[in-house]
Structure 1
Amino acid sequence: MRLIVGISGGSCAIYGVGLLKVLKELNIETHLVVSTMGEYVLEHECGYKLEDVRKLASYSYDNKDLGAAIASGSFKTDGMVIVPCSMKTLAAVANGYSESLLTRAADVCIKEGRKLILVPRETPLSPIHLENMLKLSRIGVKIMPASPAFYNNPKSISDLVAFMVGRILDQLDIEHSLFIRWGEQNG
């Protein structure tokens, strides 16, 4: 399996790092691209330098490198996850504005009919945000707001991250045991 992971400037960069860690443990090939604000949020929220996060991926690209493999539809992937996905990135993807490698790779997934999952983290949502999400959802893009569950009684931030990463993996049909599923609590 070959996946693209994008990290943009929305809060919750910890989900992107968590996803990369799990995909590495599962020996899944990853292609990472991080926006300028994504790099800032990684350091500000998580204390990670971009170089450290790049080590979690199989391959990593500069967001300005529009000649990278992931910018082409002929480079086959199984899909892409942008986690977190800023409203700027979401708007660019929704409107086909491919001015960076991150948004071009998402555009390629849409045009090639590949899985694309966006994990936005914003509140409250404006009508513009909602319209962009609806536009993307109608063409098959999965919109997964960074909304962890509490039915499994999380004890730590790691538990919250594991739940969200697990739900992303579910959308990619990747088996995992990151959290207890609803109905499995007592049995």
Structure 2
Amino acid sequence: MAGPQRITLAMTGASGAQYGLRLLDCLVQEEREVHFLISKAAQLVIATETDVTLPGKPQAMQAFLSEYTGAAPGQIRVFGQEDWLAPPASGSSAPNAMVVVPCSTGSLSAIAGGACNNLIERAADVALKERRQLILVPREAPYSSIHLENMLKLSNLGVIILPASPGFYHQPQSLDDLVDFVVARILNLLDIPQDMLPRWGEHHRSSCEE
């Protein structure tokens, strides 16, 4: 199986809840274990932007998301923001990759500053100190100089900054196609198979072979 077996997926309060939910679904379908973290602001955004209303308690949320995605028992584990005994809080047991999608500029700033005021920030700090893959998907427009400086600082530390900026060369026909473009890019970076978006040149090559 290519790519990491266990992944920390965090959702924060930027617009773009569809990206995080779609990525969760794809990770489940690829049989990955997901440690799911979510901020209170993200729960509000999800309720505003989608028809999904998540339960407030981690255990109830875990049951809901497992049913929502068709996950196997124990495949999705939800941890509260103050659960300091959760695996993502320690380098000895944290997953090998972490994705924050969507990533608010507040979370971006906290991660860049090394803050550990909640489990999302601590998990990102662990990923940084352990030199593990960390992908941040900010969704903001326009970016201020502060945002850009934080992105540059994190990029210089090895963090992958993947703005939620879908392309159009795949000729999207729906909103779902635009969401899938960004999610496919995340999966490519994680080295997890996906068939939502051909890699650049693949369509041209197959057309020439016909």
Report the CA distance between 1:41 and its aligned residue.
0.6
Structure having the higher Rg: 2
Is 1:5 equivalent to 2:4 in the alignment? no
Q: What is the match of residue 149 of structure 1?
A: 167
Q: SS where residue 202 of structure 2 aligns?
A: coil
Q: Which amino acid aligns with 2:185?
A: R
Separation in 1, partners of 2:142, 2:38:
24
Taking only aligned residues, the RMSD between alpha carbons, in angstroms, comes to 1.3
Q: Once the 2 structures are TM-superposed, how far is the Cα of residue 64 of structure 1 from its aligned partner?
A: 2.1
Report percent identity of matched pairs: 45
Following TM superposition, by how much is the alpha carbon of 1:54 offset from its aligned partner in structure 2, in angstroms?
6.1
Distance 2:173 2:138 in 1: 24
Question: Is it true that 1:100 corresponds to 2:118 in the alignment?
Answer: yes
Q: TM-score, normalised by structure 1?
A: 0.96
In the alignment, what sits opposite 2:99?
Answer: 81
- Are 1:63 and 2:67 matched, yes or no? no
Deviation at residue 47 of structure 1 after TM alignment:
2.0
Q: Whole-Å Cα distance in 2 between the matches of residues 16 and 65 of structure 1?
A: 21
Deviates more, 1:102-111 or 1:168-177: 168-177
1:47 aligned residue (43, 47, 51): 51
Residues in 1 aligned to 2:111 and 2:78: alpha-carbon distance in whole angstroms:
20
**SS of alignment partner, residue 81 of structure 1:** strand
Question: 6, 24, 27: which is aligned to 1:23?
Answer: 27
Aligned mates of 2:156, 2:66 — CA distance in 1: 32
Q: In the aligned structure 2, how far is the partner of 1:8 from the partner of 1:87?
A: 9
Contact kept? 1:152, 1:185, Cα under 8 Å: no
Mark the runs of 5 or more structure 2 residues left unpaired by the alignment: 55-60, 70-74
User: What is the rounded CA distance, in whole Å, between the counterparts of 1:42 and 1:54 in structure 2?
Assistant: 17
Partner AA of 1:173 in structure 2: D
> In structure 1, what is the Cα distance between the partners aligned to 2:119 and 2:94?
16
TM-score by length of 2: 0.85
